[in-house]
Homo-oligomer: A and B are copies of this chain.
């Protein structure tokens, strides 16, 4: 892997906290800072495509994500995405040839001290350069087939569907 194409779409991983609004909003992508701390030995191209809660990702948004993936010159694609609908987006990307695509996100915002964001991004990068072409979900330390995984909302984790 010489170049990794990163596409960010929003979701919990990029949530920031604004006290004056007393709620969370989606900020700029955290993945840049995370990769800088790590000193990765390959090039990265970051496309900050959208900043959406994944409940608001539409079919049109998925078409746009697919288009960006299709046009990327890299064979290795990492997408950060809200966890509520990342499986739907993964399924919408199936059938693209010759690219390994990993979709990840986090259950707690990257800015939290005990967030799973750095781990999940690391896990995705380990997998994206190791797997055959195809589309995968990376959550809870596992690489899942998008057709065989679900988010268990009450337990707040991913598991076999």
Contacts and interface: CB of A to CB of B under 8 A. Distances in A.
Interface of A: 1, 12, 15, 17-20, 22-24, 34-35, 37-42, 53, 55, 83-84, 107-109, 111-116, 118-131, 138-143, 153-154, 156-159
A91 B20 CA distance: 22
A12 to B, nearest CB: 6
Contacts of A18: 156
A97 to B, nearest CB: 19
Nearest to A136: B130
Contacts of A157: 39, 41
Contacts of A41: 139-142, 157-159
